[in-house]
Structure 1
């Protein structure tokens, strides 16, 4: 009798283990995100994978596609690609381009500012360190090459242009004309900037790449001297940089009215974007292939775990994050909800 009972217990244990093994899921989350989110997102993903396997009995892997944020959104809206999560460097792209057809909520979660980064190989590196207020004079010199990302694909690119136009207002000088209009086909009318769909630039002076992180290798190798980039990315990659006045760096919420004087119209979308403080946004798409797991990922990102990882990577995190729209109830304890 005891042997039969023992055999039944063993058989039940084996069967139960088999059932659990069959019930454990394997999921690949597809994430389209801004290039400047690459480093912190990779760390969040690694931790979430361990958390999900331990607590949710789900094996999660990730298919990441880093690009300019405009391009990340257009992969869905124009190319019809499927994704679970979209993280952008400019939250306004979500209500402008994804709501209501592709998602019905979004969360603001992190901030940044624009800096000018360089290395010891950059021409006049010591001079700009000693006299950062003369940055525009140094960039204008004939033998200096500088770069920014494509404004039609990447918010860092159109923000670089906004920074330079704001510099016109702050310094009372024609900096935008000298640096941009004389070297590209990007132009302005007053404080309104126009970026043609096909941008042409003088390669001996201005280098433009699809996303801001594409410029890192060029400045590190000395191929170009200076780049407009996010402060967090400059610090993550150990670049030297100068900070810009708060009136122009798009990092100061108290300067929102001053920033709003400048706007840019993009040839790629036809949309006009007003300059404002830099805030990142994230959403889960309505037809996400793995929506439930994607929301669990967002919960992890918006928790103290995500905040810790972002701040370790030199990027400020909103406390609390701010959510808009039809916010999933699982996220409500982590966010401040706005209508």
Structure 2
């Protein structure tokens, strides 16, 4: 999302809304941790999962976030380098003539993903491979390709993962569809049953689990959210920017970038949503 924000949405927001846009991209969980520790005080926080917003909610988290809105939906894909030694096999997998996981199991195949403890995409990757094991009836698929949740040979910072792919350091990565679209790299579309991109498969996704610090977490549809932290120094401009992304031209840019539109449902306390944004709310999240 960093590329579309920096190259398209940011400059247009500057000219249309007369605000000074300055963004920073990283894993949503890592960003939430920085906000929580006071290292960052953004006016607007966009997350790749409601779980990052929830890290900042409640008295124990100084009520840094009281509400969040659904911004857009996405899905996981396997993005690959067209110059990879495995490009022909990956292209065949994209056409459905060979299983994608068989290509990734080939000796010498280099695979990249993000840290499941710092980035929702990395966490979703864990769920996706668990679901794939069952879907393809391949009980060893997770171990053969990922090795472990935090395999150091595969895990890269979220902000550098795509550059690892485009510079040829890895053959393929797990990416959001919008990332593959905005970077112009080929990708393999995954079935709805495993790509975490269909809200109708919510119950099935929840069967995939990951344990973190003794807590069992469950898979869920990928949902990007947006909020204004209570520490915002310019809440008026922040509200204008949120409206621009949720219902204005910024929203149209996101859809062209590969995202999928969703109803603007609310998480958290409606009373804390700025009055100018109340009309955007289209129900509440479960």
Distance 1:93 1:291, change over 3 A: same
Q: Is the alpha carbon distance of 1:42 and 1:120 closer, same or farther for their aligned partners in structure 2, counting shifts above 3 Å?
A: closer
Residues 41, 329 of structure 1: CA spacing in aligned structure 2 closer, same or farther, 3 A cutoff?
farther
Alignment-derived partner of residue 17 in structure 2: 52
- Name the counterpart of 2:68: 106
Which residue pairs with 2:28 in the alignment?
69
CA distance in 2 between partners of 1:123 and 1:252 (Å): 32
- Cross-structure match for 1:209: 156
Q: Deviations over 1:188-225 (max 9, x none)?
A: xxxxxxxxxxx453x3xxx21110x4122222222211
Q: Secondary structure at the match of 1:336?
A: coil
Does structure 2 retain, via aligned residues, the 8 Å contact 1:91–1:281? yes
> Could you tell me which of 89, 92, 114 is aligned with 1:149?
114
Q: Which of 97, 100, 105 matches 1:135?
A: 100
| Number of residue pairs the alignment of both structures matches | 274
Gaps of at least 5 residues in structure 1 are 1-35, 54-59, 187-198
User: Which structure has the higher relative contact order (CA within 8 Å, separation 6+)?
Assistant: 2
* Structure 2 partner of 1:81: 40
Residue 79 of structure 1, CA deviation: 4.2
CA distance in 1: counterparts of 2:217 and 2:52, whole angstroms: 9
Decide which of 171, 175, 190 is 2:141's aligned counterpart: 175
Query: TM-score scaled to structure 2, two decimals?
Result: 0.89
CA root-mean-square deviation: 1.9
User: Unpaired segments of 5 or more residues in structure 2?
Assistant: none
CA contact (8 A) 1:40 1:313 kept: no
What secondary structure is seen at the aligned counterpart in 2 of 1:64?
coil
> Which of 270-279 and 166-175 deviates more?
270-279
Q: Does structure 1 residue 255 correspond to structure 2 residue 201?
A: yes
Q: Does 1:275 align with 2:219?
A: yes
Who wins on radius of gyration, i.e. which is larger?
1
C-alpha displacement of 1:80:
4.4
